[in-house]
């Protein structure tokens, strides 16, 4: 037998094995580096948490609308304890504040409710000197329409209303609100248990303005929603997410941030802002007139405007944010890639903000009660 070490082929093989091994290890390094690059650029718990000082703030926010880890970080950084309560709709929140029984330090109403609460002296002016991180908010999200002079509200999130649908269950992808009247989806859709949202969309479906106060138009919208009831499995708010991810219905009227969440949980779900147009909303942080700890409230609001915290919060909540520093930190390209949170301009042009309707609000409340109690 010839000495294999003298064979050219053997040495070629040895060299090949070495080259492949080197390449493979270089590849591994690259992968490790990539993973390191993906380390989330946002906040973490401080290494030496500040002991609790006994100071508290009371926060009243929508359900599923904050990453609770941000609260833990705030407490550990400041020693201020956060007492946290949630509501499901602007109207529920308003009723509680207007009754005056509870004193919250931070609340998060939507545009039209900010407008109402300013008019009714239920909010106090923000001392911007104590909110330096407001510089992180994109000026495009400062809206004179509901807070003239930008005095009472700090933009937190925004979004649209649209239809979340199960691509495997619908006959074709919806493009119109008419889908919500389609008999095909009998007992197979969820609607929002929220008077302005649901009545607003019904008005659009009837071809009217979503801020209409015309009693005849509202009556038509009411009749439409009553006619729709046999199709509706339930009127829900936060529960819609688990239900749609769980495949309990084919279509649902939802807010865009909830659609983002659902779509991250299920590949079968998609979202559309129907062609007839929709609502665009802006939710803001505000300090109620009867807050007990204004300086704590300011610290909390400023903390939530911090780029790293707003990014961390976005990652959890899923709603579009007005915080340009946070978007930059996360990578604007990736953030902007979501058509749900960043609809094209032509879609935005078809969306309208809800306005506070003064004493006509009562008409909405009355109609809504009639719809819900109708069998
Ligand atoms: C989140 C509520 C979103 C608020 N659960 C829509 N304005």
Residue 15 reports pLDDT greater than 80: no
Choosing from 196, 319, 354 the residue with most ligand 1 atoms within 8 A of its CB, the one to mutate for a pocket test is 319
- Read off the pLDDT of each residue in 98-112 and give the average, rounded to a whole number: 94
Given this model, what pLDDT does residue 143 score? 80
- Per-residue pLDDT tens for 184-218? 999 999 999 999 999 999 999 999 999 999 999 99
CA of 33 to the centre of ligand 1 (A): 38
Given this model, what pLDDT does residue 20 score? 54
Residue 100 reports pLDDT greater than 80: yes
85, 60 in Cβ contact below 8 A? yes
pLDDT averaged over every residue in the chain: 91
- Which domains does the chain possess? 56-157+281-340 (3.40.190.10), 159-279+353-373 (3.40.190.10)
> What is the distance between the alpha carbons of residues 284 and 262, in angstroms, rounded to a whole number?
23
Given this model, what pLDDT does residue 27 score? 47
Among protein residues, the one whose CA lies closest to atom 2 of ligand 1: 62
- Per-residue pLDDT tens for 121-172? 999 999 999 999 999 999 999 988 999 999 999 999 999 999 999 999 999 9
Choosing from 94, 158, 257 the residue with most ligand 1 atoms within 8 A of its CB, the one to mutate for a pocket test is 257
Percent of the chain at pLDDT exceeding 90: 85
Q: Which residue has the higher pLDDT, 36 or 191?
A: 191
On the CB side of 101, how many CA atoms lie within 13 Å of its CA?
Answer: 5
Residue 273 reports pLDDT greater than 60: yes
CA of 171 to the centre of ligand 1 (A): 29
Strands laid side by side in the 106-107 sheet: 81-87, 56-62, 106-107
Given this model, what pLDDT does residue 35 score? 47
CA of 284 to the centre of ligand 1 (A): 11
Pairing of strands 154-166, 251-255: antiparallel
Residue 1 reports pLDDT greater than 50: no
Choosing from 65, 90, 237, 317 the residue with most ligand 1 atoms within 8 A of its CB, the one to mutate for a pocket test is 65
CA of 87 to the centre of ligand 1 (A): 10
- Read off the pLDDT of each residue in 220-231 and give the average, rounded to a whole number: 97
Given this model, what pLDDT does residue 37 score? 47
Percent of the chain at pLDDT exceeding 70: 89
Q: What is the DSSP string of 121-134?
A: T-B----GGG-GGG
Given this model, what pLDDT does residue 243 score? 98
Q: What is the dihedral of CA 205, 209, 214, 220, to 10 degrees?
A: 0
pLDDT-based confidence at residue 14 (cuts at 50, 70, 90): low
Residue 227 reports pLDDT greater than 90: yes
Given this model, what pLDDT does residue 3 score? 46
CA of 361 to the centre of ligand 1 (A): 20
Choosing from 108, 278, 283 the residue with most ligand 1 atoms within 8 A of its CB, the one to mutate for a pocket test is 283
pLDDT-based confidence at residue 102 (cuts at 50, 70, 90): confident
CA of 93 to the centre of ligand 1 (A): 12
Q: Which atom of ligand 1 is nearest to the CA of 64?
A: 5
Structure tokens at 272: 């559309």
Residue 32 reports pLDDT greater than 50: no
DSSP for residue 238: T
C-beta pairs of 65-68 under 8 Å, 24+ apart in sequence: 65/108, 65/157, 65/283, 65/317, 65/319, 66/313, 66/316, 66/317, 67/312, 67/313, 67/315, 67/316, 67/317
73, 45 in Cβ contact below 8 A? yes
Given this model, what pLDDT does residue 5 score? 47
- Per-residue pLDDT tens for 286-324? 999 999 999 999 999 999 999 999 999 999 999 999 999
Q: Which atom of ligand 1 is nearest to the CA of 110?
A: 7
Q: Which of 297, 145, 122 is nearest to 211 (CA)?
A: 145
Among protein residues, the one whose CA lies closest to atom 4 of ligand 1: 62
CA of 238 to the centre of ligand 1 (A): 8
Mean pLDDT check: name the lowest of 118-122, 194-198, 336-340: 336-340
Given this model, what pLDDT does residue 11 score? 52
Within 10 angstroms of residue 94's Cβ, the number of other Cβ atoms is 19
CA of 89 to the centre of ligand 1 (A): 8
> What is the distance between the alpha carbons of residues 357 and 313, in angstroms, rounded to a whole number?
32
Choosing from 60, 61, 62, 155 the residue with most ligand 1 atoms within 8 A of its CB, the one to mutate for a pocket test is 62
| Ligand 1, CB cutoff 6 Å, lining residues | 62-65, 110, 238, 255, 281, 283
Among protein residues, the one whose CA lies closest to atom 6 of ligand 1: 255
């Amino acid at each position: 037998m010839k000495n294999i070490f003298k064979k050219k082929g053997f040495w070629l093989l040895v060299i090949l094995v070495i080259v492949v091994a080197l390449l493979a290890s270089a590849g591994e390094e690259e992968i490790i580096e990539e993973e390191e690059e993906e380390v989330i650029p946002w906040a973490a718990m401080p290494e030496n948490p500040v002991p609790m000082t006994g100071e508290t703030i009371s926060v009243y926010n929508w359900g599923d609308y904050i990453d609770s880890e941000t609260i833990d970080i705030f407490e550990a950084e400041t020693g201020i304890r956060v007492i946290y309560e949630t509501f499901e709709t602007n109207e529920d929140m308003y009723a509680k504040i207007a009754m005056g029984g509870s004193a919250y330090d931070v609340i998060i109403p939507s545009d039209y409710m900010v407008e109402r609460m300013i008019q009714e002296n239920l909010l106090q002016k923000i001392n911007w000197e104590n909110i330096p991180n407001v510089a992180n908010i994109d000026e495009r999200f400062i809206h004179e329409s509901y807070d003239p002079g930008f005095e009472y509200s700090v933009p937190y999130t925004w979004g649209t209303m649209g239809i979340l649908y199960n691509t495997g269950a619908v006959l074709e992808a919806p493009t119109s609100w008419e889908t919500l009247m389609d008999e095909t989806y009998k007992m197979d859709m969820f609607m929002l248990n929220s008077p302005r949202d649901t009545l607003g969309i019904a008005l659009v479906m009837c071809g009217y303005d979503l801020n209409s106060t015309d009693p005849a138009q509202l009556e038509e919208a009411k009749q439409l929603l009553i006619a729709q009831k046999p199709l509706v499995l339930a009127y829900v708010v936060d529960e819609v997410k688990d239900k749609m991810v769980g495949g309990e219905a084919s279509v649902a009227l939802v807010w865009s941030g909830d659609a983002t969440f659902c779509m991250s949980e299920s590949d079968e779900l998609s979202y559309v802002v129907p062609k007839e147009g929709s609502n665009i909303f802006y939710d803001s942080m505000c300090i109620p007139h009867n807050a007990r700890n204004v300086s704590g409230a300011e610290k909390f609001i400023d903390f939530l405007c911090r780029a790293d915290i707003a990014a961390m919060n976005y990652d959890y909540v899923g709603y579009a944010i007005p915080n340009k520093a946070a978007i930059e930190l996360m990578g604007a390209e990736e953030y902007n890639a979501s058509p749900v949170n960043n609809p094209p301009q032509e879609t935005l042009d078809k969306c309208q903000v809800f306005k506070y309707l003064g004493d006509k609000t009562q008409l909405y409340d009355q109609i809504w009660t009639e719809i819900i109690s109708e069998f």
